[in-house]
Amino acid sequence: MKRFLDKGWQDSMRITFDFNNMMFESLGEQGFKWEQIEELDPVLKRAAASMEAKRKAGGMAWRELPYNQGEIVQDIINTAEEIKSKFDNFVVLGIGGSALGPIAVQQALNHIYYNELPKEKRGGYPRLYVVDNVDPERMEGLFDIIDLEKTVFNVITKSGSTSETMAQFLIITSLLKDRLGENYKDHIIATTDKEKGNLIKIAKEEGLKTYYIPDGVGGRFSELCPVGLLAAAACGINIEELLAGAAYMDDIVSQRDPYKNPAYMAATLQYLAMETGKNISVIMPYADSLKYMADWYAQLCAESLGKRFDTEGNEVFVGQTPVKALGVTDQHSQIQLYTEGPFDKVVTFLGVGNYRAEMKISEGYEDIPAVSFLGGHTMNQLIHAEQLATEYALLKAGRLNNTITLPEVNAFTLGQLLYFFEVQTAFAGELLNIDAFDQPGVEEGKNATYALLGRPGYQDKKAELDARPKKKDRYII
Ligand code: PA5
């Protein structure tokens, strides 16, 4: 039996949410009293009911991804095997929600130096590159390390029109056509909306292999659909286990009672924090494998919850600024500020029970006890101790912090974590009474880019830009 189907194994891999250090009993006056949460009871109940109603009405399609992709998952697994037999490199062309998930999942679940490993140590799977920018140096650099003939490109864009992604697509298709003629098609897979946008038109006309991003699944909520699943499977990640982890978490975070629902509780505490001016949300994994989960979380938090208007059109200007930190590295750069600076943050630690390696610290320098005390311990003990020590330093300084612990990092726990944060974010959106699924601020920048580069239909936007205040030389020194 596959381990992710075994209930005992699943329960042993349940991730936990510890919010002791958000509470008055532990933290003192900066912490929240249980009564404060109870006072919110009607709001929480309304938010929970709204989550359920929206899901029932099909308004949260991303929540069904663990269940409704049987055929697609099989197709992706088969495609991944084909890719493995033909290609050395798998390159994602995409940005934002079409890139951060694939990066985070790869970093978490594959060897930390995956791309540097020889092919046999990668299980025969291709290297993965995610080109999520339009920096010409990076693009040119890519061509120095990949052989186009041994590379497949997965162009991912929900809207099918994002300038960055379409620019990359234009460059790649032109190069491939020059080199391979008609065979270029075998080197491109499009992942996009099934009807809307330009990419689907091109894909249909040119007969490209295509995966669809389901309706109602927006960029930052799309990691568990083909956006993330193809790149993961192509690099040997067990996507069935990833989805099983998400389904397992869905059971936990579908409980209406916020006192039993860790995602609802996490959102509630962040909501209370925002009400008291803690408008910075620091995410601090204590594992290099989870480093890019912080990037993924940062987008989810910023783009979903940073909003000017509530659902009634009132100006509210809400949202926490996400900050990424890495334990223990950033203990030596940011923690000073977090313990002694302004009381404006909530720190969320991402801890790991068992790391996938154990590294013993060698004995030595017995004549220098301040060094030799480390010998005989393991790095595992050291990193755990440092996480605890930082948590304690924040507690002592009266700083709000909480901890999510993964028993170990694997596809099942990562699926749980992705799903947990998505539900937390959606519930926070309900509490703030905002639309967590739009991104008008991002669209504004996209439209301005179209206008500046002369996209037809954007003349008014161009005129608007041209009318912006002229820069004064005296302010440029
Ligand atoms: O979460 C979002 O919706 C955005 O970050 C998008 O993912 C990002 O702007 C890229 O958009 P698209 O997938 O349409 O190219």
For the stretch 373-414, pLDDT in tens is 999 999 999 999 999 999 999 999 999 999 999 999 999 999
Task: Among 237, 269, 301, identify where a domain stops.
Answer: 237
Same-domain check for residues 284 and 422 = yes
**439 in a domain, yes or no?**
no
Quick one: average pLDDT of 252-278?
A: 96
Please tell me if the CB atom of residue 167 comes closer than 6 angstroms to any atom of ligand 1: no
For the stretch 311-368, pLDDT in tens is 999 999 999 999 999 999 999 999 999 999 999 999 999 999 999 999 999 999 999 9
CB 109 within 8 Å of CB 411: yes
Please tell me if the CB atom of residue 197 comes closer than 6 angstroms to any atom of ligand 1: no
Same-domain check for residues 207 and 249 = no
CB 121 within 8 Å of CB 156: no
List the CATH number of the domain containing 337. Answer: 3.40.50.10490
Same-domain check for residues 218 and 331 = no
The structural domain count of the chain equals 2
Task: Among 237, 253, 283, identify where a domain stops.
Answer: 237
Same-domain check for residues 311 and 187 = no
pTM (predicted TM-score)? 0.96
Same-domain check for residues 293 and 393 = yes
**49 in a domain, yes or no?**
no
Q: How much distance in Å is there from the Cα of 96 to the middle of ligand 1?
A: 5
CB 95 within 8 Å of CB 165: yes
Same-domain check for residues 85 and 230 = yes
Q: Please give the residue range of the domain that contains residue 366.
A: 3-39+245-430
How far is residue 419's CA from residue 421's CA, in Å, rounded to a whole number?
6
Same-domain check for residues 368 and 292 = yes
Residue 146 C-alpha from the chain's centroid: 26
Q: Which of 162, 194, 305, 446 to mutate to test the pocket of ligand 1 (most atoms within 8 A of CB)?
A: 162
Same-domain check for residues 106 and 174 = yes
Same-domain check for residues 220 and 317 = no
Same-domain check for residues 215 and 306 = no
